[in-house]
């Protein structure tokens, strides 16, 4: 609690200084900006979920970010406090308070030099990405130095050396990176289209444990990426290939003796769009493409030390029941026994959007929008020799099916006040390969959502959902009621009920009630209810959360 009070004092001082800075603007002392976020949760015992077994019932995550700019100079810090403990299932390495990140930067039109912590991404992130996602407990920023140089509008270069953030410390592995972006549009004198290329290198250097010396891999692991992007008229496309040198295979944070493999990945995206129609296709193949700043971090459940960005490429759902069986990428080689051999993943998804025009039979008076998505993912087909620890993997071979999904969404506006969404999803979910459980889940999910605008400021939204499956936990039903009093104030109530569970004791309601109030750049949210255990995903990246019940207060502000 003392740490929370200290953090609050720092915030008050920061706000006060910011105000003073506004008063002194005429003296051109620079600009101070910042943001503050606090999430406090109180976990209580629950007759349905059982007694809360952890030591601390009250926990909080708090973030204060300050950025200062004077001319070409920039500097900033991020203070974080996880007192008295981090929220449930966040990394125990975060159990502290203090300055978590800092940086100083000099920036001109062509040159940018940064020292301290920074975020970076090369290409799509297949080879390197450092980013922050607080709901997932991810902050994979880099601490070191970075230089960006743009000699012309067609050329851009980045060089960096760093270690990766690991709680309030940094990882053991050293990271070397170089990236180039080249605009080829003028070279080929393209007038109605654009063409660009990119090349990247990332090296990770880490000491090898004594017992694994001279087993076929080096301290330095090298990865190279090449990509090409084209867009013209209504068509666009992009391709990226990455290769990674031989490295030890590490599963669930343990070296696999005498098992050394290289890695590679291929990403292809293309699409077409015109007024009222959009088509987007993404295909990807990943083979042994997990890349961590410390080898033994591979398989950690807190997403720590991840150097690259490998999201699950499926439709991002908004509804509670469509997010129970979510797919997460399977880039890792894993050979625990002959019945469970995984070498990576191969598959893709396609999205089609179409807008029926107003005045047509299906468009009606206000038009009708439909969205179709199909996704299919499988393991790479291959074979593994347990005697000599050698894997043979087909480059375009489809092995065991991991996941498939087909969905149809229809958005219809009935009149000026009333609009609806009809949503259907069919899923196949191989729990054995995705979440290391036994079984396959085949499910169908239906959702009806409708919103009624009472007046220009007030509205009511209702959702009804149902999940049908003969597998796993069987059928679910769900509903949401949301009342927007005005653009600043809203309340909601939702519940999902596993009424089909074979065990009557597990036929549980996961209910939540809450609301939020926003004014300017400040928002306060309040929620009480039950958290369903399982994977929580944001942007295709997931973390596991256990079941819990409690009160959550969320405060965010910016200045």
Buried b (16+ CB within 10 A) or exposed e, 156-186: bebebebbbbbbbebbbbbbbbebebebebe
Q: Which residue is listed with tokens 């009342």?
A: 483
Residue 536 has what pLDDT? Answer: 82
State the burial class of residue 27 (Cβ atoms within 10 Å of its Cβ: 0-12, 13-18, 19+): exposed
Token pair listed for 257: 């003796």
| Distance between CA atoms of residues 464 and 420, nearest Å | 12
Residue 3 has what pLDDT? Answer: 47
- Which of 102, 61, 110, 104 has the alpha carbon at shortest distance from 83? 61
Q: Which residue is listed with tokens 């092995």?
A: 399
Pairs from 246-251 (Cβ < 8 Å, separation ≥ 24): 246/216, 246/217, 246/218, 247/217, 247/221, 247/295, 248/208, 248/212, 248/215, 248/217, 248/295, 249/288, 249/333, 250/295, 250/296, 250/298, 250/299, 251/298, 251/299, 251/332, 251/333, 251/334, 251/335, 251/336
4, 38, 220, 321 from 59: Cα distances, Å? 11, 11, 40, 28
DSSP state of 324: S
Residue 382 has what pLDDT? Answer: 93
| Distance between CA atoms of residues 501 and 523, nearest Å | 38
- Which of 427, 433, 425 has the alpha carbon at shortest distance from 408? 425
| Distance between CA atoms of residues 491 and 493, nearest Å | 7
State the burial class of residue 120 (Cβ atoms within 10 Å of its Cβ: 0-12, 13-18, 19+): buried
Residue 216 has what pLDDT? Answer: 87
Residue 306 has φ and ψ, to the nearest 5°, of: -75, 125
Q: Are 198 and 182 in contact (CB under 8 A)?
A: yes
* Cβ contacts of 42 within 8 Å, gap of 6 or more: 57, 58, 550, 551
Within 414-537, residue ranges assigned H as helices are 431-434
Please list the ranges in the chain whose pLDDT falls under 50. Answer: 1-19, 21, 24
The tens digit of pLDDT for each residue in 157-181 reads 999 999 999 999 999 999 999 999 9
Token pair listed for 155: 């050329």
3-state secondary structure of 323: helix
State the burial class of residue 439 (Cβ atoms within 10 Å of its Cβ: 0-12, 13-18, 19+): exposed
The model's pTM: 0.90
Residue 541 has what pLDDT? Answer: 86
Residue 254 has what pLDDT? Answer: 86
State the burial class of residue 109 (Cβ atoms within 10 Å of its Cβ: 0-12, 13-18, 19+): exposed
Neighbours of 233 (CB within 10 A): 10
Q: Are 402 and 327 in contact (CB under 8 A)?
A: yes
């Amino acid at each position: 609690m003392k740490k929370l009070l200290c953090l609050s004092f720092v915030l008050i001082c920061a706000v006060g200084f910011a105000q003073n800075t506004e008063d002194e603007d005429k003296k051109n002392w620079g600009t101070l900006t910042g943001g503050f976020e606090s999430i406090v949760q109180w976990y209580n015992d629950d007759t349905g979920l059982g007694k809360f077994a952890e030591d601390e019932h009250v926990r909080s995550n708090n973030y204060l970010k300050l950025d200062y700019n004077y001319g070409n100079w920039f500097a900033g810090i991020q203070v974080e406090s996880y007192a008295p403990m981090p929220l449930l299932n966040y990394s125990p390495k975060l159990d502290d308070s203090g300055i978590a990140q800092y940086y100083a930067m000099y920036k001109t039109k062509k040159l940018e030099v940064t020292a301290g912590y920074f975020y970076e991404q090369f290409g799509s992130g297949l080879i390197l990405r450092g980013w922050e996602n607080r709901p997932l407990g991810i902050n994979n920023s880099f601490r070191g130095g970075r230089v960006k140089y743009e000699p012309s509008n067609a050329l851009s270069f980045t060089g960096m050396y760093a270690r990766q953030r690991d709680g309030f410390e940094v990882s053991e592995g050293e990271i070397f990176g170089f990236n180039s972006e080249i605009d080829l549009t003028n070279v080929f004198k393209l007038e109605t289209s654009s063409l660009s290329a990119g090349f990247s290198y990332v090296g990770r250097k880490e000491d090898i444990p004594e017992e694994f010396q001279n087993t076929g891999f080096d301290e330095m692991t090298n990865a190279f990426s090449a990509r090409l992007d084209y867009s013209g008229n209504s068509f666009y496309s992009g391709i990226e290939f990455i290769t990674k040198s031989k490295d030890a295979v590490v599963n669930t944070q343990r070296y696999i003796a005498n098992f050394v493999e290289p890695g590679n990945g291929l990403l292809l995206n293309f699409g077409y769009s015109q007024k009222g129609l959009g088509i987007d296709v993404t295909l990807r193949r990943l083979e042994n493409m997990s890349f961590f700043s410390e080898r033994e971090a591979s398989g950690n459940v807190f997403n720590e030390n991840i150097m690259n960005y490998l999201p699950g490429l499926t439709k991002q759902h908004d509804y509670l029941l469509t997010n129970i069986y979510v797919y997460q990428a399977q880039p890792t080689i894993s050979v625990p026994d002959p019945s469970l051999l995984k070498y990576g993943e191969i598959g893709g998804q396609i999205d089609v959007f179409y807008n029926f025009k107003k005045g047509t039979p299906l468009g009606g008076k206000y038009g009708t929008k439909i969205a179709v998505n199909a996704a299919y993912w499988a393991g790479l087909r291959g074979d593994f020799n347990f005697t000599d620890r050698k894997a043979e993997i087909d480059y375009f071979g489809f092995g065991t099916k991991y996941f498939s999904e087909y969905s149809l969404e229809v958005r219809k506006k009935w009149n000026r006040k009333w609009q609806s969404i009809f949503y259907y999803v069919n899923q196949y979910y191989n729990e054995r390969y995705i979440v290391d459980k036994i079984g396959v889940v085949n499910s169908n999910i239906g959702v009806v959502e409708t919103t009624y605008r009472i007046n220009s400021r007030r509205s009511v939204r209702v959702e009804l959902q149902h999940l049908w499956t003969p597998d796993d936990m069987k059928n679910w039903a769900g509903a949401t009621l949301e009342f927007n009093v005005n653009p600043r104030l809203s309340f909601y109530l939702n519940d999902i009920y596993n009424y089909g569970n074979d065990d009557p004791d597990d036929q549980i309601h996961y209910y939540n009630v809450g609301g939020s109030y926003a004014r300017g750049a400040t928002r306060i949210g309040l929620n009480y209810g039950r958290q369903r255990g399982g994977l929580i995903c944001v942007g295709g990246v997931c973390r596991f959360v256990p079941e819990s019940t409690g009160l959550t207060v969320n405060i965010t502000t910016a200045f």
